[in-house]
Amino acid sequence: MADATERTEHLRRGRGIAVLWFAVLAAPLAWMLGLNAEYGLVRVACAKNSNLALHLVSLATLVIALAGGWVAWREWKRTGREGPGEDGGPLPRSRMMVVMGLMASALFSLAIVTQWVASLFFNPCMAI
- Over the stretch 34-45, which tens digit does the pLDDT of each residue have? 999 999 999 999
Mean pLDDT to the nearest integer, 65-83: 87
Dist CA 114 CA 51 (whole Å): 16
Lowest mean pLDDT, pick from 88-97, 98-107, 111-120? 88-97
- Would you say the pTM of this structure is higher than 0.85? no
List Cβ neighbours of 121 (8 Å cut-off, separation of 6 or more). Answer: none
pLDDT for the residue numbered 1: 44
Phi (first) and psi of residue 49, to 5 degrees: 55, 40
Q: How far is CA 59 from CA 39, 56, 88, 124, in A?
A: 15, 5, 39, 17
Task: Tell me: pLDDT of 62 over 60.
Answer: yes
Mean pLDDT to the nearest integer, 58-78: 94
Task: Tell me: pLDDT of 28 over 50.
Answer: yes
- What's the chain's average pLDDT? 85
Q: Where does the pLDDT of residue 15 fall: very low under 50, low under 70, confident under 90, or very high at 90 and above?
A: confident
